[in-house]
Amino acid sequence: MIYTDIALASVLAAVLFDLFGIRTSLLTKSVFWTSYAIILPFQLITNWWLTSRNIVMYNPDAIIGRRLAGAPIEDLLFGFSLILAIQGMWVYWGRIGIQRKK
């Protein structure tokens, strides 16, 4: 498996986790998409930093080769699944009453 395969699998896993696993259904909520829209430009900036300076380097055989702001397109899939899974867990614990209130 290359980066592309694992990144796609991580998105599929996070989506299934959100909708059918912990049933947080963040994918149907404005609060999720708004926060993602805020995070995305920052991901592009930090990805650009890491890749354009060659702090992180990718094996051309492990990616499909399309890039955005210097970083492999796969990074967007990785970021999306990470954010969805983490925010889902946060909402899940709040829902069952763990430190729900501020």
Partner 1 sequence: MLKFSYLAMLIFTVFGSFWLELVLKTRVMKRAKRAALSILPIAPLYLIWDAYAISQGHWHFDPAQILGIFGPFKIPLEEFLFFLVVPLAAILTLEGVRSVKKHWPVGDEE
- Per CB under 8 A, does 27 bind partner 1? no
- Per CB under 8 A, does 86 bind partner 1? yes
Among 19, 27, 39, 44, binds partner 1 (CB under 8 A): 39
Classify 98 in phi/psi space as left (phi over 0), alpha (psi -120 to 50) or beta: beta
Tokens, residue 63 = 């990616």
In the complex, minimum distance from the CB of residue 41 to partner 1, in angstroms, rounded to a whole number: 10
CA-CA-CA-CA dihedral for 40, 21, 63, 35, to nearest 10? 0
**Cβ–Cβ < 8 Å for 43, 75:** yes
x/- track of binding to partner 1 for residues 2-21 (CB under 8 A): xx--x---x-----------
CA-CA-CA-CA dihedral for 3, 5, 15, 86, to nearest 10? -20
* Site for partner 1, rule CB under 8 A: 2-3, 6, 10, 24-26, 29-32, 34-35, 38-39, 42, 46, 49-50, 53-59, 62-63, 82-83, 85-87, 89-95, 98-100, 102
